[in-house]
Structure 1
Amino acid sequence: MTDARPSSRTDKEEQRSASPDFLVLVIDLNPFAWLKNSPSQDGAAAFEAIKTTLTTTMVFLNAHTSMNHGNGLAVYGATNGTAELLYTTATYTEAAKIQKETDVNVCLPFEQVDDAVFIGVRRMLETSCAKDRNANNTVGIVRALSLALCHINRMAETLQLGEHHGLASSTLDTNGPMRRNDGSNPGSDTFRFRIQILSVTPDASTQYVPMMNCIFCAQKMGIPIDVCHLFGEDPVFLRQASHLTGGHYYNLKSLDGLLQVLMTVYLPSRSIRPLLMFPAEDDVDYRAACFCHRRVIDIGYICSSRQRYNDEKVLSLLK
């Protein structure tokens, strides 16, 4: 009789290598950007495009949660100047506790995710559209990215205190995964974090320094930032964020291909990404923004005289 121990050992090794992912999705809901890129700038067409995009995104999120029973998820919405948490599977949040009490027998809460995201998006759009149209220059992506990093960091601290699932200890290694180790089956319950951004808003040079702070934080925590730009010109800062953190950037040519891009480029977990071929990024724009005039520039000069700091011909460049 053939000994089954080698195959059993192989199964355990495969299980350990298939670490669950925790995906933090940031959806750009700036209504003015959607309206600007809609046919004839029609409001009804813009909201229909948002609805179609959300429906496609829900398919992607459901596929993510079904890939691994241990996969986690958090969804943030970003409008003009603000950001809000729409859904999360983190158990320390009040929203997760309410969802858990709804139906404890639900293993993969697809309906809960859909309801929470659609209701939250409707609320954010109603609030955002009520604001002044001049507020469309402010960007909520940076705020949402900061909240996403804080959300991940709080999960790490919660697990380190042994409050998540009653486990004893956890660590966050330099490659990004959060380890929840209670001594049994080590390695099979490792969270590998990543952030996914669906953007539509152009760059704002005033957000350069906050964006760079988020990039440095993500680099230190080992968290890749994936960016899928739905329409318009390439955002310089978000493309830098994706490239510098080891994420993947894709500029979508048409919303009709969104589902295919999400399922082929962004669905694979971090554990198998090194084995896949992704679109090359050879022409990343690394230009910075000047301090005094908040413009993206090619060449900048630093003036030693404070009296000329506001001179239009003198640009202060952040290196």
Structure 2
Amino acid sequence: MDEISDNTFIEVHGSDVSNDDPSLLTIVLEVSPEGWFNIKDQTSIMDVVKSLLVFLNGHLSLNNSNQVAFVLSSPAGSKFLYPDTSKTYEEIPLNVTSEETVENSNKSEELSFVTKGMYRQFRVVDETVLSGLSQTMSDITHAQDDKVTGSSRLSGALSLALSYTNRMMKLDQSISTTTASAISSAANISNKESSTAGASSGTNANSYGTSRMKSRILVVTPNDNEDIKYISLMKAIFGAQKMKVAIDIAKLGRKDSSYLQQAADATNGVYLHIEKPLGLIQVLCTAYFIEPSIRPLMILPTNSNVNYKASCFITGKSVEIGYVCSVCLCIMSEIPDRMSCPTCNSHFDEKLIAKLKRKPVVKKRKLDNGSSESSTPAPEA
């Protein structure tokens, strides 16, 4: 609770409170065999997925127009579990025979992971996510070792989530514009004689047309290794900043992730290191359940200890002190052998490289008593 409390209060006027716009919640779950093995004594991936499904159902119940998506990031790649393009999510037609209905119901009972008495929207999401997760875990189990022990694909999963978010925002904006034009035309026909009523109806139409779908992304990962592709992750962060999409991070495991801290801090998201995953559902329903439209009115958990260390563009490892290209700001932990930037191919000045590679010179100075003392001057910048 100490991370949630904050002494900073912001006064927001009543006119700044947004209306009840639809919201898109995208969950990115990283399936890292090594990460989940390290926390096997605390929780399992199935328990975490169950908590996430309850979280998704709660989001859908807030607004009939709310949308959800579920992206799975595994060593074999990233893919959508929901929505699944191979399924139509339609009811059984009424003109089918009883034998076909019984056959379809038997197949659904074999593949079903939830009870049939559940609300249809919740059941579709839960069954699709659980069946896709079961298939992915089976593929990882029977895969080769090089596919299981690969580097993190989290940056690719974030790119998928942002692409889907951009599509949903554009689709929502086009639907809102079409509906607003229809409402405004109908209002003009019915209120030709009343200019005052026409102005008020036009105001309502404009306010409806400017409504846009809000969106946020929740990343759940137990990976403790800093093997995320830094360049791809920073591109995803810049894209989320431009789209005004908050990236929330629920970090499981034993260590913090400096790169994910940067993602949450740069996009005004929430970063929490959950040391006890058994209470994950309580954390999800408090810190991460706040809609983007009302986040300016709430006191969100803050993280003041953000580590902004970068990654070397050559070796891919974290850099404490390194070299930066003056053209493209490429970060390097060592000077390339070809004397040029690995990103923009800008040729470095030979004199400057020679000065950087020059070793410190040991000089001797005479003391007052006639003895000498060696001193190492600081290298030139």
Partner of 1:28: 30
Distance 2:306 2:145 in 1: 32
Relative to 1, partners in 2 of residues 1:242 and 1:206: Cα closer, same or farther, differing over 3 Å? Answer: closer
Equivalent of 1:307, from 334, 338, 342?
A: 338
Distance 2:296 2:18 in 1: 17
Q: How does 1:55-204 map to 2 (within 5 A)?
A: 55-88=50-83, 94-95=85-86, 98-101=88-91, 109-134=121-146, 135-159=148-172, 167=179, 183=205, 186=208, 190-204=212-226
Distance 1:223 1:237 in 2: 17
Partner SS, residue 323 of structure 2: coil
Equivalent of 2:309, from 262, 287, 303?
A: 287
Relative to 1, partners in 2 of residues 1:138 and 1:118: Cα closer, same or farther, differing over 3 Å? Answer: same
Partner of 1:6: none
Distance 2:172 2:292 in 1: 21
Name the % identity. 28
Matched, 1:231 2:221: no
Distance 1:285 1:16 in 2: 33
Q: How does 1:212-291 map to 2 (within 5 A)?
A: 212-291=234-313
Asked if the contact 1:75/1:86 (under 8 Å) is kept, the reply is yes
Which amino acid in structure 1 is aligned with residue 140 of structure 2? S
Instruction: Report the Cα offset of residue 189 of structure 1.
Output: 5.6
Partner SS, residue 234 of structure 2: helix
Distance 2:269 2:48 in 1: 22
Partner SS, residue 58 of structure 1: helix
Number of equivalences: 275
Instruction: Report the Cα offset of residue 118 of structure 1.
Output: 0.3
- Report the TM-score, using the length of structure 2 for normalisation: 0.64
Distance 1:280 1:206 in 2: 23
Relative to 1, partners in 2 of residues 1:159 and 1:166: Cα closer, same or farther, differing over 3 Å? Answer: same
Deviations 1:83-128 (A, max 9, x none): 111113xxxx7456x1134599x97611111100100111111112
Partner SS, residue 190 of structure 1: coil
- What is the root-mean-square deviation in Å for CA atoms of aligned residues? 3.4
Asked if the contact 1:17/1:187 (under 8 Å) is kept, the reply is no
Deviations 1:267-318 (A, max 9, x none): 11111112222222111010001122211111112567643689xx99xxxx
Partner SS, residue 117 of structure 1: helix
Distance 1:168 1:18 in 2: 16
Partner SS, residue 75 of structure 1: strand
Which amino acid in structure 2 is aligned with residue 154 of structure 1? R
Relative to 1, partners in 2 of residues 1:95 and 1:192: Cα closer, same or farther, differing over 3 Å? Answer: farther
Relative to 1, partners in 2 of residues 1:103 and 1:165: Cα closer, same or farther, differing over 3 Å? Answer: farther
Relative to 1, partners in 2 of residues 1:225 and 1:15: Cα closer, same or farther, differing over 3 Å? Answer: closer
Instruction: Report the Cα offset of residue 155 of structure 1.
Output: 2.4
Distance 1:286 1:16 in 2: 33
Instruction: Report the Cα offset of residue 50 of structure 1.
Output: 1.1
Q: Which is worse superposed, 216-225 or 274-283?
A: 274-283
Instruction: Report the Cα offset of residue 205 of structure 1.
Output: 4.3
Deviations 1:236-288 (A, max 9, x none): 11111111011110110111110111000111111111222222211101000
Asked if the contact 1:65/1:108 (under 8 Å) is kept, the reply is no
Structure 1: segments with no counterpart, 5+ residues: 1-12, 40-44, 170-181, 315-319
Asked if the contact 2:179/2:209 (under 8 Å) is kept, the reply is no
Instruction: Report the Cα offset of residue 18 of structure 1.
Output: 1.8
Which amino acid in structure 2 is aligned with residue 211 of structure 1? L
Which amino acid in structure 1 is aligned with residue 161 of structure 2? A
Q: How does 1:2-17 map to 2 (within 5 A)?
A: 17=19
Partner SS, residue 195 of structure 1: strand
Partner SS, residue 306 of structure 2: coil
Distance 2:173 2:208 in 1: 16
- Report the TM-score, using the length of structure 1 for normalisation: 0.75
Distance 2:46 2:123 in 1: 16
Distance 2:149 2:273 in 1: 22
Partner SS, residue 34 of structure 2: helix
Whose Rg is larger? 2
